Chain A
Amino acid sequence: MKIEIQITNQPIRSRSLTENYPAGAIAEFSGIVRDLENGEKISALEYEAYSPMAENEMRRILESLNEKFPCLAAQVIHRVGIIPVGETAIYICVVAKHRGEAFSMLAEFMNRLKQDVPIWKRRAIVKTESAQPIVSVAVKTSGHGNALSLDDAVAEISSCCQPLPGVHAPLAESLGRILRENITTTEDLPAADKSTRDGYAVLKNDSSEILSVVDAIHAADWKPRQLKIGEAVRIATGGSLPCKNVCVIMQENVERNGDIIKIVRHESNLNIRKRGEEIRAGETILNSGAKLDAGKLALLATVGYAQPLVSPKLKIIHFTTGDEIISPEQKPKPGQIRDSNSILIHALLKNFPCELVQQHLPENFEMAKQVISAFSLQPPAFDLVLVSGGASVGDKDFTRPLLEWLDFEIVFNRIAIRPGAPLIFGTNGNRAAFGLPGNPLSHFVCFHLFVAAALKKLVGDEPRKFLRGNLAAKLDDAPNSRETLWPVRCEIQNGKWELTPLRWSSSGDATCLAETNALIRIPANRGSIESGAEVEFFRTHY
């Protein structure tokens, strides 16, 4: 049975079982949020899920039910987050040969889901008369509401972005991309028994001291012949052995005279690689999800995968804003500053296979819209939109309306970390957009924490994990109500990560950035941390 499971915080619209099955029955079920919960009028329900486990459990239940009620395919989409009354919380589609199995599968699945799948109704949102349009509830924090924590913001981004479909790409264009298929070879490697030395192939049971050289085999040759006692074949490293039951005597251990060799030293090594010694036909050598580096690409080439299925190259557009921004080669007049964010984003994105377009926008909203329209820069031509706010541009004035004009729904606009606020995150289908604060250090932090999380999810890469290390010096900081990402220099000392806090003040951001190769995470209200203390950090160099 083909199983598709999705947990999403987006409205459930598409029904994507488009394949042709030899089906006699398709049973669909939609669970809808009702306007009454525990006798009270409500406008929405909020759901929460332990997504990886919930997906596993649903799969496990479907697989076990399939033994009892064999079906052809099942698709389950469960929505989480705030779901307005009248909208679908769960959608199930079961395809089977007969209606009996389809009905049983559906009914039984729902019963088991309600027992075992870790998804919860968190709260009902009670209807009030002055209710704003319900979609506005989906905005996590607007105005001065409680800002999202780092973990919650990353979780939100991760649930909004889903991996984009894979594409077949040539090896030379696949570096850094995520493999989307398991690689199984149909060939043994090596394909034949081979010599590992330059020397002479002789029968293993041949005890002759003097042998006659009857042939020569180069690395590319395929010359099978049955050797006899007293016969030797000159063979190169990598050459295919002429027959079974031979060994190779290194050329250093023989004296050659014309077509005659004399063995001067005996050796115990056979000096051969057996067929299939490295890889057996049918073996899986790389798993879906692997990030392709030089070595993995070489392995793919070795086994003949010239066009592997990999994550797509992301299309990214980066807008810079602010009339005070001038290009690096210009000399700033009073009030102007040079644009460092363009090169910062350009360089940070080098670690992700993508096509990047960068465009400066005038601060006037109408003029900015004209620029975007004139250059056909609107989504859906892009998977990701980044907007860097200029230092003097309040992003409330510009970035948010710009993203909304580009049809992005704002998911959150406040985060409780420093540096980094204000950060805006929005989605439009499976496209993501970030409004980044103008300061370069904030840019750097937001990129590594949030933009990278979206990029990784879109390509299907593993999320970043924090590492643990020890402070090499005391970190002096006043307690702050927000979680802090502090720039540090990390290096390995005696097998442990040592982290030296860098001097960080708002005026020295650019110099601090040039030294930074990691960020440590200081919990809210923590304040100073003693030298030697263990802290969480992540590296900002890949």
Chain B
Amino acid sequence: MRILFFAQTKDAAETSELEIKISGSASFDEIWEKLVAVKPKLTEFRKATRLARNGEYADAKTKFTDADEVALIPPVSGG
């Protein structure tokens, strides 16, 4: 699974992209657990950061598979 980081989460992860392996499908929370395990600095962003699956916002019910592109979307500030 390809994970993309943006803005503050990119700084915390110290990379813009990460590849993690999951088997079968994973929940929203399971993805976070995996991420925080590899990049502990992401913990503080967990509350305010949304996840996107293949370019669309995910929610607590979303199932993720290994083929998905997942992006961490911290609070946005465009415009």
Contacts and interface: CB of A to CB of B under 8 A. Distances in A.
B77 interface: yes
B6 A113 contact: no
Given A50-B73, A152-B16, A119 B52 contact: no
B7 A115 contact: no
Interface string A107-141: 00010011111111110000000000000000000
A48 B76 contact: no
Contacts of B71: 50, 53, 118
Nearest to A121: B77
Interface string B57-79: 10000000000000101101111
B33 interface: no
A122 to B, nearest CB: 6
A52 interface: yes
A414 interface: no
Interface in A453-477: none
A54 interface: yes
Contacts of B14: none
B79 A120 contact: no
Interface in B1-34: 4, 6-7, 16-17
Contacts of A89: 79
Nearest to B77: A121
B79 A113 contact: yes
Given A56-B55, A56-B56, A151-B16, A50 B79 contact: no
Contacts of B52: 50, 53, 118
Contacts of B57: 116
B56 to A, nearest CB: 7
Given A50-B52, A50-B73, A120-B74, A90 B79 contact: yes
A78 B7 CA distance: 17
Contacts of A152: 16
A352 interface: no
Nearest to B5: A50
Interface SS of chain A: helix, strand, loop or mixed? mixed
By size class, the interface of chain A is 20 to 34
A110 B17 contact: no
Contacts of B74: 120
A317 interface: no
Interface in B42-59: 52, 55-57
A53 B79 contact: no
Contacts of A47: 78
A49 interface: yes
Interface residues of B, number: 16
A31 interface: yes
A31 B79 contact: yes
A526 to B, nearest CB: 14
Nearest to A45: B77
Given A50-B4, A53-B71, A116 B17 contact: no
Contacts of A53: 52, 55-56, 71, 73
A119 B78 contact: yes
Given A56-B56, A90-B79, A115-B76, A120 B6 contact: yes
Interface in A36-72: 47-50, 52-54, 56
A115 B73 CA distance: 11
Interface string A74-118: 000010000000000110000000000000000000100111111
A114 B7 contact: no
Nearest to A536: B19
B73 A118 contact: yes
Most A Cβ at <10 Å: residue of B4, B6, B71 = B6
Interface string A381-403: 00000000000000000000000
Contact of A119 (B4, B55, B77): B77
A120 B7 contact: yes
Contacts of A122: 7
A48 B6 CA distance: 8
Contacts of A117: 76, 78
Contacts of A78: 78-79
Most A Cβ at <10 Å: residue of B17, B78, B79 = B78
A48 B9 CA distance: 12
B16 A119 contact: no
B13 to A, nearest CB: 14
5 contacts: A49-B78, A90-B78, A119-B76, A120-B7, A120-B74
Interface of A: 31, 47-50, 52-54, 56, 78, 89-90, 110, 113-122, 151-152
Closest 9 CB pairs of A and B: A119-B78, A120-B7, A53-B55, A121-B77, A118-B73, A120-B77, A117-B78, A90-B79, A113-B79
Interface of B: 4, 6-7, 16-17, 52, 55-57, 71, 73-74, 76-79
Given A56-B55, A120-B77, 7 more contacts: A53-B56, A56-B56, A90-B78, A116-B76, A117-B76, A117-B78, A120-B78
